[in-house]
């Protein structure tokens, strides 16, 4: 194109040749909805799959694909598997996309009763409407799980989370993946609480891992996104097709923020875990605290399973304050350093009161039966100086 011949208005409109000469040291954000073809033939080849290349950012984008590839490599690290990953617009859309990719009307999902609240709600209020049923059971009761699998051949997916929110109950991943394999059932683990630094379900025979990258993987609380990671090539095309047609794709900006967060993931996770251990030990000795749920404490009922499948005990814990609802809320109102916020995995310490937030719509009797009492407080322990976290909790509890 000869720019000398064009009018000022056209020069304003047209993209100029970009001036990239050397390789950028950091991943660029490709803020473009589409990609130009050199010729009609190239376009045809890319759309038919004869040639690989980007065409439209809902189908794939260099920034997004770079980050999803990195996450897949992290989940498959050391397993010898070659995994693929797809970033999604949220953790929830990672879950809905994988379910709608793998299951159809008449199929059943087997899962636990204490899933992330949004996941339970989606299974009951959205997924159920397309004729995909869910059975909720205690996945730590092996014989009961096997009996359900034996009796119901419509079960296609075993879906679980470990540790579970907010009581840190652990499910034996290897035991569940072996059982699922015996019955020809696909497994998917929500690994949000651990990240691949702490727990690698693929190494324990699981087919798919999903994450809300919103939490630890991003780590800085400034993006909402998710990821689906698998290794069986048989499902790859169907997942990509579902993703691009539902439009649950991640955007380049959020992908870039995850990429930034990933650089410090191992050192963040190490500090989250050591701080959480120190906070758990402090809380355990406090006279106003009835109970501490932290997998690192040998007294925790799931300490042994956690030790078997987690490289550290992570940054999440919950504890029960001795007192009624109003006295518990008073204590939480006194916190000055820790933030009251309904997320987890950020660099700063976050407090959540499940009974009045994440579990407010669950019956009190059912809440109590699951250990989610009025006194229960969830902490996402940050990477600050642990003395400041403990000082804040101490002054609030006094
Ligand atoms: C937050 C969360 C989700 C949902 O992720 P979003 O990014 O909020 O959509 C799913 N599972 C777990 C364990 C979570 O903590």
**92: Cβ below 6 Å to ligand 1?**
yes
Same domain, 231 and 256: yes
Work out the mean pLDDT of the chain and round it to a whole number: 96
Same domain, 62 and 205: yes
For residue 252, what pLDDT is reported? 98
Same domain, 214 and 284: no
For residue 17, what pLDDT is reported? 87
Convert the pLDDT of each residue in 317-342 to its tens digit.
Answer: 999 999 999 999 999 999 999 999 99
The β-bridge relationship of strands 289-293 and 186-190 is: unpaired
Please spell the DSSP secondary structure of 82-107, one letter per residue.
Answer: --EEEEESSHHHHHHHHHHHH--TT-
Same domain, 352 and 297: yes
- 168 forms beta bridges with none
**255: Cβ below 6 Å to ligand 1?**
no
The reply to whether 234 falls in a domain is yes
**118: Cβ below 6 Å to ligand 1?**
yes
Domain at 360, CATH number: 3.90.1150.10
Same domain, 298 and 213: no
Boundary-marking domain end, from 210, 242, 262:
262
Residues labelled catalytic: 58, 116, 190, 215
Of all residues in the chain, the percent with pLDDT exceeding 70 is 99
Q: Per the omega criterion (within 30 degrees of 0), is the bond before 26 cis?
A: no
The mean pLDDT of 278-304, rounded to a whole number, is 97
pTM for this entry: 0.97
Q: Band of the pLDDT at 366, cuts 50, 70, 90?
A: confident
Atom of ligand 1 nearest to the CA of 92: 9
Instruction: Write phi, then psi, for 261 (nearest 5 degrees).
Output: -65, -40
Same domain, 104 and 247: yes
Single out the residue of 6, 118, 19, 71 nearest to residue 263, CA to CA. 71
The reply to whether 20 falls in a domain is no
Residue 367 has pLDDT above 70, yes or no: yes
Chain Cα centroid distance, residue 183: 26
Number of domains in the chain: 2
Mapped onto helix, strand or coil, the DSSP state of residue 256 is helix
Atom of ligand 1 nearest to the CA of 344: 15
Same domain, 287 and 376: yes
Helix (H), strand (E) counts: the chain: 15, 12
Long-range residue pairs from 356-363, CB within 8 A, at least 24 positions apart, any chain: 356/325, 356/329, 358/117, 358/165, 358/166, 359/117
Single out the residue of 164, 378, 393 nearest to residue 283, CA to CA. 393
The reply to whether 32 falls in a domain is no
For residue 1, what pLDDT is reported? 60
- Going by C-beta distance under 8 Å and a sequence separation of 6 or more, which residues neighbour residue 161? 112, 114, 115, 116, 119, 171, 189, 190, 192, 193
Same domain, 354 and 323: yes
Domain residues for the domain of 323 are 265-397
Q: How far is the CA of 42 from the centre of ligand 1 (A)?
A: 39
Residue 74 has pLDDT above 70, yes or no: yes
**214: Cβ below 6 Å to ligand 1?**
yes
Same domain, 174 and 275: no
Please spell the DSSP secondary structure of 184-218, one letter per residue.
Answer: T-EEEEE-TTTHHHH--GGGGT-SEEEEETTTTTT
Q: Which two tokens stand for residue 302?
A: 């799931």
Same domain, 315 and 239: no
DSSP 284: H
Boundary-marking domain end, from 262, 279, 305:
262
Domain at 256, CATH number: 3.40.640.10
Q: Whose CA is nearest to atom 2 of ligand 1?
A: 212
**112: Cβ below 6 Å to ligand 1?**
no
Boundary-marking domain end, from 262, 282, 298:
262
Q: Is the CB of residue 314 less than 8 Å from the CB of residue 344?
A: no
For residue 90, what pLDDT is reported? 98
The mean pLDDT of 252-279, rounded to a whole number, is 98
Same domain, 207 and 308: no
């Amino acid at each position: 194109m000869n720019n000398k011949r064009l009018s000022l208005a056209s020069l304003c409109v047209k993209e100029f040749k970009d001036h990239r000469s050397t390789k950028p040291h950091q991943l660029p954000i490709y803020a473009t909805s589409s990609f130009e073809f050199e010729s009609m033939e190239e376009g045809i080849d890319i759309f038919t799959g004869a040639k690989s290349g980007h065409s439209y950012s809902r189908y794939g984008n260099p920034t997004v694909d770079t980050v999803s590839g990195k996450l897949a490599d992290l989940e498959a690290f050391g397993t010898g598997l070659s995994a693929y990953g797809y970033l999604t617009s949220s953790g929830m859309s990672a879950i809905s996309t994988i379910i709608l990719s793998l299951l159809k009307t008449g199929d059943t999902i087997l899962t636990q009763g204490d899933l992330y609240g949004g996941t339970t709600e989606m299974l009951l209020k959205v997924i159920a409407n397309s004729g995909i049923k869910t059975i909720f059971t205690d996945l730590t009761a092996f014989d009961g799980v096997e009996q359900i699998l034996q009796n119901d051949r419509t079960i296609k997916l075993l879906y679980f989370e470990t540790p579970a929110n907010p009581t840190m109950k652990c499910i034996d991943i290897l035991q569940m993946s072996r059982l699922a394999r015996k019955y020809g059932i696909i497994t998917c683990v929500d690994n949000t609480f651990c990240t691949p630094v702490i727990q690698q379900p693929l190494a324990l025979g699981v087919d798919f891992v999903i994450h809300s990258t919103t939490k630890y993987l991003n780590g800085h609380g400034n993006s909402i996104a998710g990821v689906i990671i698998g290794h069986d090539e048989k499902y790859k095309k169907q997942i990509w097709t579902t993703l691009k047609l539902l439009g649950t794709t991640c955007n380049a900006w959020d992908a870039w923020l995850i990429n930034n967060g990933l650089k410090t993931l191992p050192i963040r996770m190490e500090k989250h875990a050591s701080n959480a251990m120190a906070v758990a030990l402090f809380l355990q000795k406090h006279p106003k605290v009835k109970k501490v749920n932290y997998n690192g404490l040998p007294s925790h009922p799931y300490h042994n399973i956690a030790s078997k499948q987690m490289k550290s005990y992570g940054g999440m814990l919950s504890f029960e304050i001795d007192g009624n609802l109003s006295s518990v809320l008073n204590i939480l109102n006194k916190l000055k350093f820790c933030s009251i916020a309904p997320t987890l995995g950020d660099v700063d310490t976050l407090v959540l009161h499940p009974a009045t937030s994440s579990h407010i719509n669950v019956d009190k009797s059912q809440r109590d039966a699951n250990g989610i009492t009025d006194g229960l407080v969830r902490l996402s322990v940050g990477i600050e100086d642990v003395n400041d976290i403990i000082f804040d909790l101490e002054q609030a509890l006094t």
